[in-house]
Structure formats: structure tokens, C-alpha cells
Amino acid sequence: MSNVLTWGFLRYIGQRLAMAIVTLWALATMTFVFMRAVPGDPLTRTKEIPAAVRANLEQRYGLNKPLWKQYIIQMDRMFLHADFGESFRTVDRSVNRMIIENFPASATIGIFAMIFGTITGLGLGIIAALYRNSAIDRAAMLLCVVGIAIPSALIAYVVQYFLAVFPLVKLHVNQDYWFRPVGWGQFRDVILPGFTLSLGIITMMTRYMRSQMVDVAFAEFVRTARAKGASTFRVITLHQIRNAILPVVSLLGPIFVGAISGSLLIENVFGVPGLGAAYFNSISNSDYNVLMGLTVFYGGFFIVINLITDIVYGLIDPRIRFG
């Protein structure tokens, strides 16, 4: 690891950070263009707002300014003042407050899903690969196909019904010591939405890990290790898993950002006070500031996580050098 703290490494980080800012700016600009290109604006209603009232609202929100000016105002506020502005829909609520108040809930179920999903998925993938073509392997692969085929909406309802409603209504388990279908504020409330969210991660991890393990099993260094007389356990853990897991690590960043970015459906079904509803509403209401703010927030998160992934990748893979 002595290669880490070199000038090359620092220059690499610097370059990546500069790229990150350019990428974020490009993301913000594209978001601006696309959301303005969509028909309607934040003031489009089923019952149209009368012209005089609309004029007052446009003035208040600055929507009557030329587009390029609105663009400059938004970019300046966002990148130079770290302020995402106010929502047009939930009036008086700043996007910054929205993130502070509701991101923790999305992140909580995301982190739970991430940890549970990754551990379970890796485990299943390893076992399926070691017992290739056995009943366990087939069961794991069936689970993956089912996991991809069933829409997450249905999975959320199924999980809610069989793990909360059925036990409480039919089996009469004690309400205080069991999952409730809807609720937030206690640790038990994390499990159902977190578990539902983790199913996608498990599916992806299992398939990926299994195929990596199978690939590695026929690699020359594994054969060499066996030939040297290393124990089966040693071959599997030190040679096979360690090599198979490397490409999987690069998946963790995107999966993590995906997991914490709030699923409208899962949050809505289980009553999780996350950002999912706000994100969804911002799209259907053309709520420019919220849509832009959350996109840039998650985009920034994604870029940072990717950077960390690359660095970690360098730490665990001796073939990668910075500089």
C-alpha cells in the first residue's frame, strides 16, 4: 500500500475532483434543459390559474425572467451558495430542509438493504458457484429470475401482507413484538422496507458473484494453488473469493446510491418518511427547484461514492496503480 500516498495519487484525486465538479455542472445543465423542455410548468393545473394571478406568481418565483437568467440564478445559488432554493409545491419549504429532514429515512432503509443484500447475495452466489448445478444452485438461480421478473410493487405488497398483515390479523401475534405494516420511528420499521429493497440487490449480487466465482474456478492461479497443495478452504477463500469479489466491489457504489435514493413505491407502501415522494412529486409537478436539487444531490453523492470505490479498488487490487 505504499503506493497510495504519492504525488501521483494526490494529483489523481485532484483531477478526479475537478472532473466531478464539471460532471455535476453538466448534470445540472442537462436537468435544466430537460425539465424546461417538458410541457407545462410548476403553475400548470387542471383548473388553469387566471392570467392576472399567474403573472403575480411568476413574478414571485422569478419564472417571468428570461430562461438564461433563470439558469444563471439557479446555478449561482446552487454551486456558489449551496442553496437549492424553495419548492413550488410544498410552499415555504426549502429543498435543503427537505434533504435534511427526509434523507435520513431513505438512507436508513438503503443502508440496511445494502448491507443485508450484499452479504446475502455474495453468500448465495458463492454457495451456488461451489455447488454448481446442484439443487441449491438451481434454487438460487430461480430466486434471481423471480426477483427480476416480479415488479417491486407486487413484492412490497406481498412482503407487507405475509410478514405483517397475516401474522397480526390471522395468527394474532403480539402487536408490540412484531412488524407493523405501516410505521416509522422504531428499529422494526426498517426491516420490511429494507428487506423489500434488498431483494433487487440480492438478485444482482448472487448472479454476478456466481458467474465471477465460476470464471475464477478455471483460472490458472487457482489450478496452481491447488497443485501447490493448498487446502480446499484456502483455495476458496484466499484465491477464488478474493479474486472473484474484486469486480463485484465496483458494483457497490452504484448499488449504494440506488439504494439510498429513495424508492417512492417502497417508502409509500411502508410509510417511510423518505425523499421518494418528494422526488416523484417534483417530476409530476415540474417543481424545478426540488427536481434540480435532488438530482444534483444524488448526482454528487454518486460521484463521490464512485471516487471512493476507485480508491478502495486500488487498495485491494495490487494490479492498479494511481498516477
Partner 1 sequence: MWITNRLAHQSALASLLSVLLGSGTVIAEQKSREQRIADNEVYFSSGDEPPSMDISKQVDSVSSMWLGHIYEGLMRTNAAGAIIPGTAESVSISPDKTTWTFKIRPSAKWQDGVPVKAQDFVYSWRRLVDPAYASEYSFIAITASLVNADAIVSKKLPKEQLGVRALDDHTLEVKLSRPVAFFDSLTSFQVFYPLRQDIVEKFAGSFATDPASLIGNGPYRLARWQKEQSMRIEKSDTYWDAGNIKIKAIESPAMVKDGQANFNNFRTGGIDTTGVSTPEIIRQAQAAKLKIETFQTGCTETLAFNVRPGRLFANKKLRHAVRAGLNRSEYVNKIVGVPGYKPAFRMVPDYMPGSQPGLTYRQEVKSPPVKDFDVPTTQRLVKEYLADTKQTQIPAFTLLFDDSVVAKKMAEYFQHSLSKLLGNEVKVETVPFKTRLQKSRDGQFDMVFFGWCPDYRDPMTFMDLLANNNENNSSGWSSPAYNKLIEQANSEADKAKRVQLFKAAEDILEEEAPVAVTDVSGGALTAAPELKGVKRTIFGFAPDFRAAYWDHK
Instruction: Give the one residue of 31, 102, 118, 196 binding partner 1; rule: CB under 8 A.
Output: 102
Minimum CB–partner distance for residue 150 and partner 1 (Å): 16
Most distant pair of Cα atoms in the chain: their distance: 85
Minimum CB–partner distance for residue 5 and partner 1 (Å): 29
Q: What is the 3-state secondary structure (H, E, C) of the chain?
A: CCCCCCHHHHHHHHHHHHHHHHHHHHHHHHHHHHHHHCCCCCCCCCCCCCHHHHHHHHHHHCCCCCHHHHHHHHHHHHHHHCCCCECCCCCCCEHHHHHHHHHHHHHHHHHHHHHHHHHHHHHHHHHHHHCCCCHHHHHHHHHHHHHHHCCHHHHHHHHHHHHHHHHHHCCCCCHHHCCCCCCCCCCHHHHHHHHHHHHHHHHHHHHHHHHHHHHHHCCHHHHHHHHCCCCHHHHHHHHHHHHHHHHHHHHHHHHHHHHHCCCHHHHHHHCCCCCHHHHHHHHHCCCHHHHHHHHHHHHHHHHHHHHHHHHHHHHHCCCCCCC
Give the bridge partners for 86, in sequence order.
94
Instruction: Give the one residue of 161, 162, 224, 254 binding partner 1; rule: CB under 8 A.
Output: 161
Instruction: Give the one residue of 89, 214, 226, 306 binding partner 1; rule: CB under 8 A.
Output: 89
Q: Which stretch binds partner 1 (CB under 8 A): 9-17, 161-169, 228-236, 237-245?
A: 161-169
Minimum CB–partner distance for residue 259 and partner 1 (Å): 13
Task: Count residues near partner 1 (CB under 8 A).
Answer: 68
Minimum CB–partner distance for residue 124 and partner 1 (Å): 13
Decide: is 5 part of the binding site for partner 1 (CB under 8 A): no
CB closer to partner 1 out of 46 and 133 = 46
CB closer to partner 1 out of 158 and 320 = 158
> Which residues in 242-281 contact partner 1 (CB under 8 A)?
265, 268-271, 273-274, 277-278, 281
CB closer to partner 1 out of 39 and 66 = 39
Instruction: Give the one residue of 3, 13, 183, 217 binding partner 1; rule: CB under 8 A.
Output: 183
Decide: is 104 part of the binding site for partner 1 (CB under 8 A): yes
Minimum CB–partner distance for residue 46 and partner 1 (Å): 7
Question: Which spans of this chain sit near partner 1 (rule: CB under 8 A)?
Answer: 38-40, 43-44, 46-53, 56-57, 59-60, 89-93, 98, 100-105, 107-108, 111-112, 115-116, 120, 157, 160-161, 163-165, 168-169, 175, 180-187, 190-191, 195, 265, 268-271, 273-274, 277-278, 281, 284, 286
